[in-house]
Amino acid sequence: MKNKKELKPFRAIPVEQPIGIFYLASMPAADLVEISWADLRHMEKDLDRYVGIQRELKDDRVAEIAKFVNSVDATFPTSVVLAVQSSCASFDERTGRLTLHEGVDESTGELIPLERVANILDGQHRVEGLKGLTDHSTFDVPVSIFVDADIADQAYIFATVNLAQTKVNRSLVYDLLDYAKARSPQRSAHDIVVALDSAEKSPFYQKIKRLGTATPGRAPGVETLAQATVVNSILPLISKDPEADRFDLAKGRKLQSKDVKYEAAPLRSLWIKERDTEIAKIFFEYFLAVRDRWPDAWHSQEKGAMLARTNGFRAFSKFFKLAYLRERPELDLETPVVSRARYAKYFSKVDLEDADFNSSNFVPGTSGETALYNQLRRDTGI
């Protein structure tokens, strides 16, 4: 490409790790702002799928950072993580310098302008805040640059960096696992949740916020559960160490169900045998029984209603394990799905009516969740 725009070459250090090689470098704030952009996660028009990686910008946080970067002791000691296509990056091994420049998108053949060269995988608020910097000459920013990381790797890098950070919406992180190439407990739990949310006959039909916030096009108040809440209730039933399982599968290692006691994770054998559809059916039947026993409370959008919200869902999810083990005390791969009628016999014993599922009887937080769980156990005798 003739007359392509580029940044001044800068020193970079190649770093080799299991995911591949990336570059550590220091960039002037002005250059970083000029070339970077954030791929915001959103619902793709006319398609029931999300695209993009980053969460939405928080204006108040950007304003705070813009103020901070102009203070006398401002510092960003941790790296902004960037993804760059190979057509936009040239590394000179002799001089140890990396040049970022305009290139051609291999998938579309279109020009990648200088201002779209670097996709921000982590640090979008810092970069946006740097736009308010008054003196760019005194501010360099550490960066980690991944060259030619595909969308699955980009999503995984974001998830890895942010999964332990409480400020990042965990539903967004789990949804990004949709891009993952290797099988994992997190990916399976994600797929199960998406199936439960999208099936019209499901008790969870359109009740789950895929990104932890309202889904465009759905009526206000219909979505009462965050994706992360449902994912986190499924994971313990299929894995006692999801990250270790993910790593082993990524390395091609075969998992053994006998490594975990059946009572500890009763759906693990199904998951290892890749029978995720049956796991979804198991949850489908159980929560249909919940919905059928307390239909008004399940569908209620009234203030204070709690059955199909975090507290109620978590309490019934904990009780699910007890009820399932009562019905399937030993591993049964022939008929693992328990019908809603079998669960109904337990729920018929529970001394609660629809109107009782409110935040006055079961207060928000773990105490309300525990109170409901304990009553389910007490009334059913499980």
Residue ranges in the chain whose pLDDT is less than 50: 41-54
Same-domain check for residues 50 and 149: yes
In terms of domains, do 191 and 284 share one? yes
Same domain, residue pair 362 and 297: yes
Burial of residue 54 (CB within 10 Å: 0-12, 13-18, 19+) is buried
My answer on whether 114 and 202 are in the same domain is no
**Which pLDDT value is given to residue 80?**
93
The pLDDT assigned to 3 comes to 73
Statement to judge: residues 124 and 223 lie in one domain: no
Pairing mode, if any, of strands 140-147 and 20-28?
antiparallel
Give the whole-angstrom CA distance, residue 363 versus residue 370: 10
Instruction: Quote the CA–CA distance of 195 and 306 in Å, as a whole number.
Output: 23
Residue that finishes a domain, picked among 106, 138, 156? 156
Does residue 242 contact residue 188 with C-beta atoms inside 8 Å?
Answer: no
Number of domains in the chain: 2
Q: In this structure, what DSSP letter does residue 168 have?
A: S
Decide if 166 is inside a domain.
no
Same domain assignment for residues 126 and 219: no
Residue 369 pLDDT: 94
Claim: this prediction has a pTM higher than 0.85:
no
Q: For residue 59, what pLDDT is reported? A: 82
**Quick one: 217 and 306 in the same domain?**
yes
103 and 208 in a single domain? The answer is no
Q: Is residue 162 part of a domain?
A: no
- Residue in this structure with the two tokens 């705070």, named with its chain if needed: 64
83 located within any domain: yes
User: Same structural domain for residues 113 and 202?
Assistant: no
> Does the residue 169 lie in any domain?
no
H helices of the chain, where? 29-35, 59-68, 124-130, 151-162, 170-176, 185-198, 227-238, 242-250, 268-272, 276-293, 295-299, 310-327, 340-347, 366-380
**Is residue 129 assigned to a domain?**
yes
Q: Which residues on adjacent β-strands are paired with residue 40?
A: 54
- The boundaries of the domain holding residue 238 are 182-380
- Residue 161 domain flag: no
Looking at 138, 156, 174, which one is the last position of a domain? 156
266 located within any domain: yes
Asked whether residue 258 falls in the same domain as residue 359, the answer is: yes
Return the pLDDT at 317. Answer: 97
Q: Please check whether residues 317 and 222 belong to one and the same domain.
A: yes
The contacts of residue 192 (CB under 8 Å, 6+ apart) are 234, 276, 279, 280, 283
Q: Is residue 260 part of a domain?
A: yes
pLDDT digits (tens, 9 = 90+) for 10-38: 999 999 887 778 999 999 999 999 999 88
Element (H, E) at 99: strand 97-100
| 288/354 same-domain check | yes
